[in-house]
């Protein structure tokens, strides 16, 4: 059995803590942060990528500022140096981020802030597998919207674990639809080699982790309040 860890991170930080986060980023990350037009988006990027460095630094027993990244052929971020088979994935939405870690397996995480979505069925019919759409349409209207976001994060977590991006259409594989527990049913290299699990990321969110290993044990952790205070500002 392979184990995986999902770290939940609160991203709403005051300016001094956000400055500490910005000090951890490398030149490429700082340039990407500067391209955001909205301050809210810029702050979310800085905080989530600093948290990623903190979590990876702890896992690798190294300085968070020294963690180096590379891009896989699909563009998926990976560690630049040998890491003992450590894989990671990052997702953020609103004021929450998820960071997934797994050794000798691929991991994908996705978190979404729930919001009113009156055209959920139309979106499902355009992007999801037919069986998923039928299951979603069969739900009571009052539960359909919440189920859509749970379903969406299940599918996105699988795509992110594979690193396939837009090359894998969401309709090419099928997962369960709430209230059924998360599970891969078909496609994406077969259902037997996967573990999917819901993650409690905070009120008003939907979140899922997907690991390319059967029966993986999922450990959920939270970065403590004031986590940027544990490294110095420049």
**CB distance 191 to 183 below 8 Å:** yes
Mean pLDDT, the chain, whole residue set: 93
- The CATH number for 87's domain is 3.90.470.20
Count Cβ atoms below 10 Å from residue 84 Cβ, excluding itself.
9
Confidence check: pLDDT of 5 > 60: yes
Q: For residue 191, what pLDDT band results from cuts at 50, 70 and 90?
A: low
| 193-226 pLDDT, tens digit each | 899 999 999 999 999 999 999 999 999 999 998 9
Confidence check: pLDDT of 233 > 90: no
Number of domains in the chain: 1
Distance of alpha carbon 161 from alpha carbon 177, whole angstroms: 19
Q: Quick one: pLDDT at residue 146?
A: 96
Task: Look up the pTM and report it.
Answer: 0.94
Q: Quick one: pLDDT at residue 165?
A: 66
Residue 185: exposed, middle, or buried by beta-carbon count in 10 A (0-12, 13-18, 19+)?
middle
Q: For residue 33, what pLDDT band results from cuts at 50, 70 and 90?
A: very high
Distance of alpha carbon 70 from alpha carbon 77, whole angstroms: 6
Q: Quick one: pLDDT at residue 57?
A: 95
Q: Quick one: pLDDT at residue 221?
A: 97
Q: Quick one: pLDDT at residue 84?
A: 83
| 62-98 pLDDT, tens digit each | 999 999 999 998 889 999 987 889 999 999 999 999 9
Question: Percent helix, strand and coil across the chain, each rounded to 5?
Answer: 40, 25, 35
Q: Quick one: pLDDT at residue 234?
A: 57
Instruction: Compute the CA torsion angle 8, 90, 82, 215 (nearest 10 deg).
Output: 70
Instruction: For residue 179, give Cα distances in angstroms to 138, 148, 190.
Output: 12, 11, 22
% residues pLDDT > 90 (the chain) = 85
Nearest CA among 72, 68, 79, 81 for reference residue 102: 79
Tell me which residue range forms the domain holding 145. 3-230
| 135-184 pLDDT, tens digit each | 999 999 999 999 999 999 999 999 999 987 667 889 999 999 999 999 99
Confidence check: pLDDT of 1 > 60: no
Count Cβ atoms below 10 Å from residue 86 Cβ, excluding itself.
16
């Amino acid at each position: 059995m392979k184990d995986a860890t999902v770290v939940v991170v609160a991203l709403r930080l005051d300016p001094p803590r956000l400055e500490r986060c910005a000090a951890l980023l490398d030149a490429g990350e700082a340039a990407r942060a500067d391209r955001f037009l909205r301050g809210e988006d810029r702050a979310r990027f800085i905080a989530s990528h600093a948290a990623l460095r903190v979590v990876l630094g702890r896992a690798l027993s190294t300085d968070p500022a020294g963690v180096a990244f590379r891009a896989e052929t699909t563009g998926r971020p990976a560690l630049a140096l040998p890491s003992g088979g450590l894989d990671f994935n990052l997702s953020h939405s609103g004021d929450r981020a998820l960071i997934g870690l797994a050794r000798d397996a691929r991991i994908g995480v996705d978190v979404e802030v729930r919001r009113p979505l009156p055209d959920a069925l139309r979106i499902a019919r355009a992007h999801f597998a037919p069986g998923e759409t039928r299951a979603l349409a069969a739900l009571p209207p009052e539960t359909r919207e919440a189920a859509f976001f749970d379903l969406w994060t299940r599918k996105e977590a699988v795509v992110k674990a594979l690193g396939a991006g837009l090359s894998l259409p969401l309709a090419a594989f099928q997962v369960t639809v709430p209230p059924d527990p998360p599970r891969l049913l078909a496609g994406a290299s077969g259902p037997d080699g996967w573990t999917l699990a819901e993650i409690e990321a905070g009120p008003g969110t939907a979140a899922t982790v997907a690991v390319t290993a059967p029966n993986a044990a999922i450990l959920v952790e939270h970065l403590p309040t004031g986590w940027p205070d544990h490294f110095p500002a420049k």
